Structure 1
Amino acid sequence: MSAILPPADRLWWKHPIDRVEGTWIALAFVWCMVMFFMMVLWHVYGDQNLSTETYKTTPDAFIANAQAMVDQYTVRTETDLEIPVVAPPAGSDIYLIARLWNFWPILELEKDKTYRLHLTSMDYNHGFSLQPTNLNIQIVPGYEHVLTVTPNQSGEFSIVCNEYCGIGHHMMVGRLYVR
């Protein structure tokens, strides 16, 4: 094909497709369809997808709920900052606040019991990464993210912020105990 041809002859879709080109186009289409349907299958049958609810909230309303939970279920305090450790009963709503540069409060949950974990940020976007389980969610200010969680192994877990949130980002680590 050349630029000297008249404009009507330069249109690529008016020329026949070579057999090799057709084969590659067919292979690409089949692969796209395989990937599309695998995404649907992974969503339905995979264990990696979180079932979350998200609601608009205000900092004052969320802090009131979190403070009520802390006042009712605090069992002790830890760290030099006197962060409360909260042990709510199974099946209850638990609240975790992310703010520069900490998670508040420390949660103590029971193994194989189900809880509704409410998350929000008071200031900037933060990340909630439960290590070493690789549970990740982005926490956005003004929104309350609700996860249904059932811890299936005992131990001490770290909650790490994986969204850069400023100069103290590297120190933003919380704790979660499962007994």
Structure 2
Amino acid sequence: MSAIHPPSERLWWKHPLDRVEGTWIAIAFVWCMVMFFMMVWWHAYGRQNLSTETYRTTPEKFSAKAQEVVDKYTVRTETDQKIPVVAPPAGSDVYLVARLWAWWPILELEKGRTYRLHLTAMDYNHGFSLQPSNINIQVVPGFEHVVTVTPNQSGSFSIVCNEYCGINHHAMVGRLYVK
């Protein structure tokens, strides 16, 4: 048989399986089931994937909420662009805005305290990646992602966009301080 001459019997699925072929199909099926149930188990018990709440929003509504928090809890400004540094009290809602090509505002949180971090993108898809931690969240316009965070180490952390968002994507770096 060759590709030029088609098989005489077109119904290939009516032919009996060879023993080796059946063995490989069984191995592939079992491995697929193992991987499927490992994803479910790892999400529940592996402490790897963040469980987030997601709500629909508009840029105007989210900007208003973020600006309210910035006006209330700003402690100083940094960089040449005068980006506000926000230090909210523990247990409060913290808002972080992604837009071409910046994260706004800079956050200052306390170690061991719990916060609700609200994220959205104003223009395009962005990726929230907290470095050097292994936290990655897809930030999508029109959706507000809420993540409960409790910082467990002090320091200065970078927030990097890991979803290509345009020509200045490489410069989209924000800051998070934990005291």
TM-score (norm 1): 0.92
Q: 1:176: Cα distance to partner?
A: 0.1
Unaligned 5+ runs, structure 1: none
Unaligned runs of 5+ in 2: none
CA 1:4–1:113: 2 relative to 1, 3 Å: closer
Task: Confirm or deny that 1:30 pairs with 2:30.
Answer: yes
Runs of 4+ in structure 1 deviating by more than 3 angstroms, as ranges, are 1-5
Once the two structures are superposed, the pairs formed by residues 121-136 of structure 1 within 5 Å of their partners are: 121-136=121-136
The residue number in structure 2 matching 1:169 is 169
Report the 3-state secondary structure (helix = DSSP H, G, I; strand = E; otherwise coil) of the residue aligned with 1:40: helix
Percent identical: 80
* Deviation sequence 1:2-44 (CA, Å, 0-9, x none): 9574x4xx52233222222222222122212211211121121
Shift of 1:166: 1.4
Superposition map of 1:1-179 within 5 A:
5=8, 7=9, 10-179=10-179
- Opposite residue 85 of structure 1, the aligned amino acid is V
The code of the aligned residue for 2:167 comes to I
Q: Tell me, in whole angstroms, the C-alpha distance in 2 between the residues paired with 1:31 and 1:72.
A: 53
1:27-74 residue CA offsets vs partner (Å, 9 max, x unmatched): 122212211211121121111111111111111111111111111111
RMSD in angstroms over aligned alpha carbons?
A: 1.6
TM-score by length of 2: 0.92
Distance 1:118 1:33, change over 3 A: same
- Tell me, in whole angstroms, the C-alpha distance in 1 between the residues paired with 2:144 and 2:157: 22
**What's the secondary structure of 1:28's corresponding residue?**
helix
Deviations 1:62-111 (A, max 9, x none): 11111111111111111111111110001000001111111111000011
- The letter of the residue matching 2:112 is D
